[in-house]
Structure 1
């Protein structure tokens, strides 16, 4: 989806809009909205979606345009804040089935994020062969899960992002909010946009980084800024709720990996991700 096709009525689309800069090919302008803040900076998944939208405009042109991210890896180089941003894209390879490009997001001349991605056309694979041993997380229905309105006030104050999401967490994975983390390193729940915006490949990038850090469930307080995030988009999601599960198996010396799966309302695994995060342990 290019900036001209963006539905400005939805908060996610407004928050990820990129505008091609006149007279400067492959350069786009964006405005980072502080309403997507978590901790001290803009949410990493939202930033990834902005970068991915710019790359879709870069790689999506022509008869064999490739507008859907298949795989995207971003390195977060400095904290992004509310305000203007510039995105610079480059096509590395253009093929018949997939194309590869890079994008950098800058503010005030300082690079905040750099990503490399492979794009294609997910519609071409909609009816392809699917073989998976993965199973969706077993969750209570959304109405029996814990909404953001029940989160501790101190948590909400640091996560304006929550007001932009309809996020319902599995009660079995929110003991950390009451001072009783399970120690398993798992947080899971349901996600949809409260303004009715249905999920698509770009929204899956946000979903892969939408839950609280799994270090909370290990009993480790403090935010966990993302250093690197890779998302694989496997299919265009069906309308409706997304089911998310985030987990970590290893925290060591202030760093942890976090794996995520995103399942759509049809029960299909539509995205997978892994990130490396720096956990700021509260003393």
Structure 2
């Protein structure tokens, strides 16, 4: 079975290494695609794994490696210059700032002769304990697990486009997804997500920041909605169980829309947030699937 843990299977490529730089190769399974192209959140996760590993491998000494051992990607900002195919990619990770509390990494993903993805990754320690202030809403009101009437992706027509269902269990809140009934509604989707074979971790919380189908599907806009830029924040380590996700847009323009994700875990704790800018699907791209 293909697993989200496969996204950490980076093979060293010493030919591209330097004092503050590491190069890796990884084969991306077709499971990690939306339509024919690699999913944007998957590319962030691969970049995050490369940043984490390279920061530790390039530490100047054992003390330096110990100092950054508990730093994880808490913020990643990604520009999508192109859409990789599910095949081998080259991942280059460069240290931009090395610190005991915060480090910053620069990561590129290339395929063939083209750099297709560029990310800036901030490494720090995750938050912990009770928040000083938190708001509640429709996401907190969702049950911790999908109810019987949830729309599961696996085995539904959505699975023909959302190939991620081969590694991730996904179920949509039926009330928030009128598009599955051929109806229209607000550009808000709520869903549950968890890996098939492992409990969610910080990297899966990062992936959940791009897990929803495009919210514009609720407006009757179907097809490929290419992501220009995606920024994701990981706040806490998720508890075991399902993650609850809300994706929404405050304005859908003539050409662009923004989409926000908020992710809480089975205890109701906020574990991740994201915002992306994407293109409205057009008829010429309708056959190619969902978000990049």
Q: TM-score higher than 0.5 here?
A: yes
SS in 1 for 2:53: helix
Match status 1:35 vs 2:31:
yes
TM superposition shift of 1:23: 4.8
Distance verdict in 2 for CA 1:10–1:64, change over 3 Å? farther
Does the 8 A contact of 1:185 with 1:214 survive in 2?
yes
Cα deviations by residue, 1:140-188 (Å, 9 ceiling, x for unpaired): 5413211114633xx4322222222211110102211221021x10011
Query: Within 5 Å, which residues of 2 pair with 1:253-264?
Result: 253-264=254-265
Counterpart position of 1:121: 125
Where does structure 1 differ by over 6 angstroms across 4 or more consecutive aligned residues? none
SS in 2 for 1:280: coil
**CA RMSD, Structure 1 to Structure 2 (Å):** 1.9
Counterpart position of 2:153: 148
Alpha-carbon separation, structure 1, partners of 2:257 and 2:170: 23
SS in 2 for 1:112: strand
Q: Which piece of structure 1 moves more, 13-22 or 199-208?
A: 13-22
Q: Which runs of 5+ in 1 are unaligned?
A: 1-8
Distance verdict in 2 for CA 1:230–1:267, change over 3 Å? same
Distance verdict in 2 for CA 1:10–1:150, change over 3 Å? closer
Q: Which piece of structure 1 moves more, 258-267 or 22-31?
A: 22-31
Counterpart position of 2:92: 88
Alpha-carbon separation, structure 2, partners of 1:249 and 1:39: 26
Q: Which piece of structure 1 moves more, 106-115 or 136-145?
A: 136-145
Counterpart position of 2:13: 21
Distance verdict in 2 for CA 1:224–1:137, change over 3 Å? farther
Counterpart position of 2:54: 58
Counterpart position of 1:242: 243
Counterpart position of 2:221: 220
Match status 1:188 vs 2:190:
yes
Q: TM-score, normalised by structure 1?
A: 0.89
Q: Which runs of 5+ in 2 are unaligned?
A: 60-64, 285-292
Alpha-carbon separation, structure 1, partners of 2:257 and 2:276: 8
TM superposition shift of 1:237: 0.7
SS in 1 for 2:14: coil
Alpha-carbon separation, structure 2, partners of 1:208 and 1:47: 12
Does the 8 A contact of 2:154 with 2:169 survive in 1?
no
Q: TM-score, normalised by structure 2?
A: 0.86
Does the 8 A contact of 1:259 with 1:272 survive in 2?
yes
Alpha-carbon separation, structure 2, partners of 1:225 and 1:190: 23
The count of corresponding residues between Structure 1 and Structure 2 is 269
**Structure with more contact order per residue of length (Cα contacts < 8 Å, sep ≥ 6):** 2
Q: Which piece of structure 1 moves more, 65-74 or 82-91?
A: 65-74
TM superposition shift of 1:211: 1.3
**One of 163, 177, 180 as aligned partner of 1:177:** 180
TM superposition shift of 1:264: 0.5
SS in 2 for 1:75: strand
Does the 8 A contact of 2:236 with 2:272 survive in 1?
yes
SS in 2 for 1:49: helix
Alpha-carbon separation, structure 2, partners of 1:110 and 1:266: 42
